[in-house]
Chain A
Amino acid sequence: MKEIMTGNEAIARGAWEGGCHVASAYPGTPSSEILENISRYDEIDSEWSTNEKVAVEVAGGASLGGARALSAMKHVGLNVAADPIFTMSYIGVNGGFVVITADDPGFFSSQNEQDNRWYAPHAKLPMLEPSDSQECLDFIKDAFELSERFDVPFLFRVTTRICHSKTVVETGTRAEAPIKPYQRDPQKCVMQPSAAKLRRYLMEDREKALRGFSNDCKYNRVEWGSGRGIGIIASGVSYQHAREAFEDIGGEVSFLKLGFTYPLPDELIKRFASEIEAIYVVEENEPYIENFVKQLGIKCKGRELLPAVGELDAGIVRKSLRGNEPAQGHSVDATPPPRPPVLCPGCSHRGICFVLSKYKDIAVSGDIGCYTLGVMPPLGVIDSVICMGAGVSAGIGFGKAFSRGATPPSGKKINKVFGMIGDSTFFHSGITGLIDAVVNKSPIALCIVDNRITAMTGHQENPGTGRTIKGEPTSQIDLASLCVACGVKPGNVRKVDPYDLKETEQAVREAYDSEEIFVIITTQPCALIKDVQRRRAGVHCAVDRDLCVKCRACMKVGFPALSFGGDGAEIERSMCNGCAICAQVCPKHAISQAGEFND
C-alpha cells in the first residue's frame, strides 16, 4: 500500500516488517517518534530506557539472547551509548541488531552538530544511510538479516531532514523471524582480554568481507548520465539536494549514490572516478566520504566548496558547485523581531527560574530540557548547558573553582552554585552526579524541576510518570526518596509548588544558606499535559485596570500571555492557564486568578 510517511514512521514500519522483536530508546529530537511508532506494534517488545547506554545494553542483550533488536537515539545519545557499542562490535550478534543514530545538521534541536558517521570506522560497525522514507523502510528491513549474516551490529544513520520529512512509501508485510537458538558461548560473549583479542582478529576478516559487500550491493549504485564531465558522490539527504541542484542538466551528470557508507566501496569509487573528469563529493558537516576518496588517490572537491556548518539544500549546492546565486525576487522594508522558542505560558519552570533570577551572586549549572530556555531574557538564569546530567556534575566543578576564589569581572563573589535538571534528565544521568556531590561533600543546591513528563521531546513517559511506553501502569520512582537514598539528608530535601513564589523563595533561601548539599524538587506538571490543560481550562488571570499603576513589574517574569499597552498590563485569555505567578509579583495586587478548576 502507498502511504506518505516520515522517515521515523518508515523506520518503525520497516523494523516491524523486518521481524524486529525488541526495541529500546531514550527520546531525543529528531529520533523520538521511531520508538513511539514502534510501540504501536504488539509484536515488538518496546521500552523507553533510562538512558541510551541502558537502551543499547537492553537491545544488545536481547540480540545475544536470539531476538532481533534495535535501539534508537539522537546523535549525542550515541556518545552516552558508546561504551556498549564499541564492545558489542567485538562480540557481534545472535539475532540481528541495529543501532539508529539520528544526527542534527543545522542544530534544529541540539547542543552540537557532531557527525556520527565517524562512529562507524571508529567502532568498526557497518553503516547504512537511507536518503528518503522508502529507503528507511527497505534498509532497516534488510539490516537485521545483514547483521546476522556478518555477525555484527549495524549502525543506521539518519538526519533531521530524513527523520522529519514525509515521502511516499510502498509498505510490505511482516516477515516473521523466529527467535534464534541461544548457545552459551563465553569465547564470543565474555569480553575479558584474551577472548577480546581473538575477536579483534576476527573483526579484521569481517571488515574485509564487509568491504567486498559494499563494493557489490544494491545500496551503492552508479546512476550514469549522458556525459562524463561531472560525477557526484553523495549519501543520505545530501544525495537528494545534489540531484535537485543539477536537475536542469541532470541528464548529463553521473551520480554515485551511496547507501552503505561503512566500509565505503573502494573499488566502486575507483571505477566511477576513472570515467569522470571532475568528481564532487556532496555531504553535510564532516568530509567523511571525501577524505576516503582522497585517500584512494582520487582528486575530488567537496569541503573546499561547500559550507562546513549547517545543513545543505539544493540552492546551497547549486551556488557552491555551480556558482549560481539564489533568485532574489522580493524585499520589504521591515525587520522582523527575533522569535526564539520560549518557556510556554503557564510553564512550571518559570517560577523557580524567576526566583533564582533575583539572586545576583549565584551560578546556575543547567541541563538539557525545556528549562534550558530559562537562559532567555528576561529570566536569564542559566550559566552553562553541556549535556545530559551536567546540570549536577558541572555544578560541582563550578563550586570547586568558586571556593578557590574565582570571581566574575564585576568582582562580586559568587557565593552559591545551583544545579538545575529535569525529572527525566535526572533519571538519565543526574543520579550519578548527585552521589558524587554527596560523597565528595560538594554543597551544591540542586533544583530538580519535576514536570512529570519528558517534555521537550514531545511528552514521553519516564521513570517518574508511572506509565510504560504502551501507557500501562508501572512502578513510579519517587524523586525525594531517591535523593535521600543517594545520601542527601532528609531535612535537606524540599518539595515546592513552583507556582507558589513564596514557598519557592523560602526553599531557595534555605538552599542558598545551607552549607550542605540541598535538593529542591518542584512539583507542578508540564502545562501542556492534556489532563493539566483540561483541569485548568477554566482558570485564567485578569487585570484590574483601576489598580494597575503600569510599573511593569509583571513583565520581568517573561510571560508570552502578558503584554503592555496604553492602559497597562494585558493578559491574552486564550494563552493564560492561571498559574498566577504574575499576580504574585504585582506590588499593587492588580492581577488576580479567576475561574474554576475542573476537578
Chain B
Amino acid sequence: MTKGILLVGVGGQGTILASKVLSEGLMRAGYDVKMSEIHGMSQRGGSVTTHVKYGDRVYSPIISQGEADILASFEKVEAVRWLSYLKPGGTLIVNDYEIRPLSVLTGAAEYPGDVMGKLSSAVRNTLAIDACGIALGLGNAKAQNIVLLGALVKCMKLDGIDWHAVLRDVIPPKLRALNSKAFDMGAGQSVK
C-alpha cells in the first residue's frame, strides 16, 4: 500500500531538505520512494509543497487531493491552504508558526484568527508543534524543519530506520550536531 506525505510551507523554510532526508531514509529501508518538489519562481517567499510517496511500488510522484496520509505544515496558514489534500482520517502535523505574506503586511488581505484552534477541531489527528520555539531553544531557528521531520517520522512509525545516519549523510557537517538534536526533540513531541 502506498503512503503519501505532503510537506507544505513557505519558500526558504527548508521543506525540501527535510523531504530529502525523509526520502533517502525510506529508500534505505527498502521502500520504493518518489519525491516531487516545486522550486524556481515559487521559492521567492511563495507557498511551496513537496510530495513524498513510498510503498512496494509507487507510480505517480504526486499526491492527489484527499489522498495524503499525513499533511506536515511548516507554517500554520499553509495547513489551511492544503487541507483538502489530507485524506479522511489522516494526520495533520502543524508548526504553530506564523509567516505573514506580503498581502497581509500591506493590508490587502487578512491573516485569519485562531488558525490552530480551527485546525484542531477540523482534523481529529492534529499534532501541533512549536518547532520554532524548540529550534530557538537549540540556538538556531532554522532547525525548525528538522524538528518537524522528527515528529513526522515518529507519526509514521518509521522508527526502524537509522535516521541519525541519514542526517549525517545528507546535511552539511557543521550543522549535524544541531540537526541531530533537533530531530530528537521533534521525535519526542509526537509521543503523547
Contact = CB atoms under 8 A, between A and B. Distances in A.
A61 interface: no
A225 interface: no
A233 B53 CA distance: 24
A573 to B, nearest CB: 11
B165 interface: no
Contacts of A564: 105, 107
B35 A241 contact: no
Contacts of B34: 132, 165-167
A344 B61 contact: no
Contact of B41 (A314, A456, A559): A456
Interface stretch (B43-51, B153-161, B173-181): B43-51
A333 interface: yes
Interface in A338-392: 338-344, 370, 373, 376-378
Interface stretch (A174-182, A203-211, A321-329, A403-411): A321-329
Contacts of B40: 29-30, 108-109, 456-458
19 contacts: A108-B38, A109-B40, A166-B34, A168-B27, A168-B33, A237-B60, A314-B59, A314-B67, A315-B66, A331-B83, A331-B84, A331-B122, A334-B112, A337-B112, A340-B103, A341-B44, A341-B45, A344-B44, A457-B40
A563 B105 contact: yes
Contact of A329 (B20, B46, B88, B110): B88
A481 to B, nearest CB: 31
A35 to B, nearest CB: 15
B17 interface: no
A344 B42 CA distance: 11
Interface string B8-43: 001100000000100110010000111111111111
A244 interface: yes
A165 B122 CA distance: 31
A336 interface: yes
Interface in B38-93: 38-47, 58-67, 77-78, 80-81, 83-84, 86-90
B102 A560 contact: yes
A2 B32 CA distance: 11
User: Which of B40, B58, B80 has the most C-beta atoms of chain A within 10 angstroms of its own C-beta?
Assistant: B40
A562 interface: yes
Given A339-B47, A555-B106, A167 B66 contact: no
Contacts of A593: none
B158 to A, nearest CB: 16
Given A331-B122, A341-B11, A373-B44, A240 B106 contact: no
Given A109-B41, A336-B80, 7 more contacts: A166-B34, A166-B36, A237-B61, A314-B62, A326-B66, A337-B112, A341-B45
A313 B64 contact: yes
**Which secondary structure characterizes the binding site on chain A?**
loop
B108 interface: yes
Interface in A541-574: 555, 558-560, 562-564, 574
Contact of A332 (B20, B64, B83): B83
A412 to B, nearest CB: 24
Given A167-B33, A344-B44, A339 B60 contact: no
Nearest to A378: B106
A63 B163 CA distance: 46
A560 B45 contact: yes
A166 B83 contact: no
A247 interface: yes
Contacts of B2: 244
B67 A344 contact: no
B118 interface: yes
A377 B123 CA distance: 34
Contact of B104 (A334, A337, A456, A558): A337
A26 to B, nearest CB: 15
Given A168-B32, A241-B59, A326-B65, A338 B109 contact: yes
